[in-house]
Structure 1
C-alpha cells in the first residue's frame, strides 16, 4: 500500500507541469524529489499513471526492466518512471541484488515471519515410534509438565499474597 493515494499523486503531477516542484512540495508537505518523480511518471503515462498493475513484480519483469535500462542507458529515475514503478529506490535494490547474487535473487521473496508449525496433538502410538522419537516426546512432556507446575505455584503464591493483604 502506497503512502499517498493515486488521485493525490495525479493532482500534484498535473500541478507540477505548470508550477515548480519545490513550491508544490512545500505547500503539500511532500518531498520535492517525489513531486519531480511523479511529474516524470505523469509525462510518460498520462492519466494511466500510478496504477502499478504488476505488483508484486515477477522475476521476469524485473529482469526485463534491468535489461531495458542497460540497453538504452537510461537513468534509474527515467527507467522507473517508464515502467511506472512505485519509486526509483526499488529499481536500485533490484540492480544491487542482480549485481551481487544474479538472477536467482530477483525472484520475489515471501515477506514476514514464516508460519509456525504446530505439532499435531494426535501422536502416533508408542509401538510405531522410534526410540529417538520417544525420547523427544518424553523430553517435551517433561518440559510441559514443569511449566504447568511453575504456573500453578505462581497462582498459589498470588492467592496467598492476596490473603495476607486482607
Structure 2
C-alpha cells in the first residue's frame, strides 16, 4: 500500500474543490482509487487539513465498540462512520466489524505489534549450600592445605640437607 503525503492529499483535495475535476480523473492522475479521493475530500470538508496530519492511531476496544454500535443503531455506512469518528479508512471499520462477528468484543482488544522484547535474564542468587556441600568444600580446602604443607616441609628438608651436606631423609 502506497503512503501519500499530507501535502499530496491536500493538493488532490484542493484540485477537486477548485477545478471540479472528478474523483475518477484525479484518481487516475495520481494513481489512487476514486473512492479514496472522495474520502479525502469528505474528510477535508468535515475536519480540515488537520485530518491529514494524524499519524498511526491505536483505537481502544471501547472506541471500536462505540463506532460499531452507532453504525448498527443508526444504519450508518462505513463512510459515514469514518467521517463522524475521524477515521481515515472505512476499511478499518469493516475489519473491526468482521473481527467482532468472528471473535466477539474480545477480538477488538488492541494487540501489540512487532517482536516481543527479550526477557531479561534473572541474576542467579547464590543458593544456600547444603551441609554435605559445605563438608566437601572443607575437605577440598584441607587437602590443598595439606599438600602445600608437605611441599614446604620437603623444600625445608632439602635446604637443610644442602647446608649440612647430608642426604635428605
Name the counterpart of 2:27. Answer: 25
Q: Secondary structure at the match of 2:128?
A: helix
Partner of 1:72: 74
| Partner residue in 2 for 1:12 | 12
Compute the displacement of 1:3 (Å): 1.6
TM-score, with length taken from structure 1: 0.65
Distance 1:4 1:64, change over 3 A: same
Partner of 2:115: 113
Q: Tell me by how many angstroms 1:76 deviates.
A: 1.0
Tell me the SS of whatever aligns to 1:85. Answer: coil
Q: Deviations over 1:80-135 (max 9, x none)?
A: 12222121111011111112222222221111121121323x31224379xxxxxx
Q: Which aligned pairs between 1:79-98 and structure 2 lie closer than 5 A?
A: 79-98=81-100
Match of 1:3 in 2: 3
Count of aligned pairs: 127
1:59 equivalent in structure 2:
61
Shift of 1:51: 4.2
**Following the alignment from structure 1 to structure 2, what is the Cα–Cα distance between the partners of residues 63 and 12?**
32
Q: Which runs of 5+ in 1 are unaligned?
A: 130-166
Deviation at 1:54, TM superposition (A): 8.7
- What secondary structure, in the 3-state scheme, does the structure 1 residue paired with 2:107 have? helix
Which residue is equivalent to 1:35?
37
| Structure 1 runs, 4 residues or longer, greater than 6 Å off | none
- Structure number, greater radius of gyration: 2
C-alpha distance in structure 2 between counterparts of 1:23 and 1:128, whole Å: 81
Query: TM-score w.r.t. structure 2 length?
Result: 0.64
Residues in 2 aligned to 1:91 and 1:26: alpha-carbon distance in whole angstroms: 26
Q: Which runs of 5+ in 2 are unaligned?
A: 131-169
